[in-house]
Amino acid sequence: MKIQLLPSSFDSAGCATAEQRLTCFLIDDRVTVDAGSIAIALTDAQRNSVRDIIVTHPHMDHIASLPIFVDDLFAELREPVRIYATQEVVELLERDVFNDNVYPRFSEFENSYGRVMKYVPFRIREEFRVAHLRVIAVPVNHIVPTVGLLVSDGNSTVAFSSDTAETEEFWHVVNRAPRLNALLIETSFPNSMHKLAEASKHLTPAMLAKELGKLSHNSIDILAVHLKPAYRDTLISELAGLKIPSLKVMEPGRTYEW
């Protein structure tokens, strides 16, 4: 399985910068987990191959350019862009984003080939298919309804925490997986901002260390994501201070393979 954390900003030469402002993971050039930077960071080939998008929760950093992605492709889509989310999140997207005020209600629009966007609601704790992948969604502990994901292509399995503070069920599901290759887990705020992390339901490096104590898989890659750009340097040194050899900060724009 190939996974890229799409960049959300670029330097003056057009190269991806290390800061992560938006969340969008591209899997095998076909599927994304969240869609923050989907309209700004895909190549043309990827734009033409991605039709399946899993939305973990409706926060702006995870959906910011989703409407623009559908808009860009509107005339040429020969199949709908499929948005996989819990029914609860589908309703929030319809109420707050695709509401004819912020953006058109694309789920009701057609081009000359048919519908341009379609919701595919999934149930938590029940496996569902997204393109060539099998996915299980588990509620995590964030301030809006949010799911973590266990994603498998039949050979490799990768877990995505999405945005979360301390959580339990996610770890039970991850630990039950017969094999796990990688865990992509959030670490948003430095340790000095523990109170804000608790209030906004995110992790600090110290909280992350406690969460990793609940993980029973050994020798997997652990990649920290969702580092708030303003605290990135502090977060990197606090994460290094945990002295967990398999823990790295995920680099936007780099393709990882498991």
Q: Write the binding mask 105 to 144 for Zn ion: x where contact by CB under 5 A, - elsewhere.
A: ----------------------------------------
Going through the chain in order, the beta strands assigned E by DSSP cover: 2-5, 25-27, 31-33, 52-54, 81-85, 110-111, 114-115, 117-121, 128-130, 133-139, 147-152, 157-160, 182-186, 221-225, 247-249, 255-257
Contact 116, 110 (CB under 8 A): yes
Return the closest-CA partner of residue 36 out of 252, 257, 254, 258. 252
Question: Which residue, 61 or 211, is less far from Zn ion as judged by CB?
Answer: 61
Question: Which residue, 80 or 145, is less far from Zn ion as judged by CB?
Answer: 145
| Centroid of chain to Cα 24 | 5
C-alpha span between 157 and 141 (Å, rounded): 22
Binding to Zn ion (CB under 5 A) within 180-209 occurs at none
Q: Write the binding mask 153 to 172 for Zn ion: x where contact by CB under 5 A, - elsewhere.
A: ----------x---------
CB of 6 to Zn ion, least distance (A): 14
The stretch near Zn ion (CB under 5 A) out of 44-52, 57-65, 69-77, 98-106 is: 57-65
C-alpha span between 57 and 22 (Å, rounded): 13
Strand, coil or helix: what is 233? helix
CB of 82 to Zn ion, least distance (A): 22
Return the closest-CA partner of residue 183 out of 213, 221, 226. 221
Size of the site for Zn ion (CB under 5 A): 3
CB of 34 to Zn ion, least distance (A): 8
Q: Which two tokens stand for residue 153?
A: 């292509």
- By the rule CB under 5 A, 34 interacts with Zn ion: no
Question: Which residue, 33 or 70, is less far from Zn ion as judged by CB?
Answer: 33
Q: Name 10's Cβ contacts closer than 8 Å, sequence gap at least 6.
A: 16, 17
Question: Which residue, 52 or 163, is less far from Zn ion as judged by CB?
Answer: 163
When binding is defined by CB under 5 A, the residue of 25, 27, 52, 61 that contacts Zn ion is: 61
The stretch near Zn ion (CB under 5 A) out of 41-49, 59-67, 177-185, 230-238 is: 59-67
First to last CA, the chain: 5
Question: Which residue, 52 or 61, is less far from Zn ion as judged by CB?
Answer: 61
Place of tokens 């992605």: 69
The stretch near Zn ion (CB under 5 A) out of 25-33, 41-49, 55-63, 84-92 is: 55-63
When binding is defined by CB under 5 A, the residue of 27, 59, 86, 184 that contacts Zn ion is: 59
The stretch near Zn ion (CB under 5 A) out of 53-61, 68-76, 152-160, 236-244 is: 53-61
Q: Which two tokens stand for residue 58?
A: 């409706």
- Which residues make up the interface to Zn ion (CB under 5 A)? 59, 61, 163
